[in-house]
């Protein structure tokens, strides 16, 4: 599947295990250290996610999205990461739209940092209230 950007196109496809090296490289560049340090858990998460797509510009990984869905009500985006050189070109928007089109009856939900709040507002997302807890807490 091609994603059309403001300056060209990128190839979007389902995640393959051989992509994990590139995913961790992007995670390191973005300082998403929890995903980097917990490599086995991160790999397991990718291998067990129903929604797992990567985006390439030739041999260069330009971004990815990973999520979970019940296919009927909820599509939860766990991670969306676009490499810095590909930001502000529409890659993230196109990738989210593509994923949502795969599960058109769902509502798309995600947690986001305050840094990305304006971006998601521009895409039509609205904030909602939620909770989080680990087993150890």
Domain assignments of the chain as residue spans, ordered by start: 2-122
Predicted TM-score (pTM) of this structure: 0.90
Do 49 and 43 touch, CB atoms closer than 8 A? no
* Nearest alpha carbon to residue 4 among 96, 98, 91: 91
**Residue pointed to by tokens 């990305």:** 116
pLDDT beyond 80 at 12: yes
Three-state DSSP state, 79: strand
pLDDT in tens, 24-56: 999 999 999 999 999 999 999 999 999 999 999
Mean pLDDT, to the nearest integer, of 66-88? 95
Q: Write down the pLDDT at residue 120.
A: 86
CB 34 within 8 A of CB 73: no
Share of the chain above pLDDT 70, in %: 100
- Higher model confidence: residue 61 or residue 134? 61
Confidence band for 5, pLDDT divided at 50, 70 and 90: confident
pLDDT value of position 7: 82
- The pLDDT of residue 109: 92
- Structure tokens of 126? 């609205």
Each residue of 112-123: pLDDT tens digit?
A: 877 888 888 888
Q: Which CATH class is domain 2-122?
A: alpha beta
Residue owning tokens 């973005």: 30
Higher model confidence: residue 103 or residue 135? Answer: 103
Average pLDDT, the chain: 92
């Amino acid at each position: 599947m091609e994603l059309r950007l403001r300056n060209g196109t990128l190839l979007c496809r389902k995640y393959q295990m051989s992509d994990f090296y590139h995913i961790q490289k992007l995670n390191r560049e973005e300082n998403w250290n929890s995903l980097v340090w917990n490599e086995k858990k991160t790999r397991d998460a990718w291998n067990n996610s129903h929604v797992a797509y990567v985006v390439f510009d030739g041999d260069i990984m330009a971004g990815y999205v990973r999520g979970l869905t019940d296919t009927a009500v909820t599509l939860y985006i766990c991670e969306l990461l676009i490499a810095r050189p590909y930001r502000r070109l529409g890659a993230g928007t196109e990738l989210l739209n593509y994923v949502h089109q795969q599960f058109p009856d769902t509502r798309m939900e995600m947690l986001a940092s305050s840094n990305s709040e304006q971006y998601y507002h521009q895409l039509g997302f609205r904030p909602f209230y939620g909770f989080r807890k680990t087993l150890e807490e």
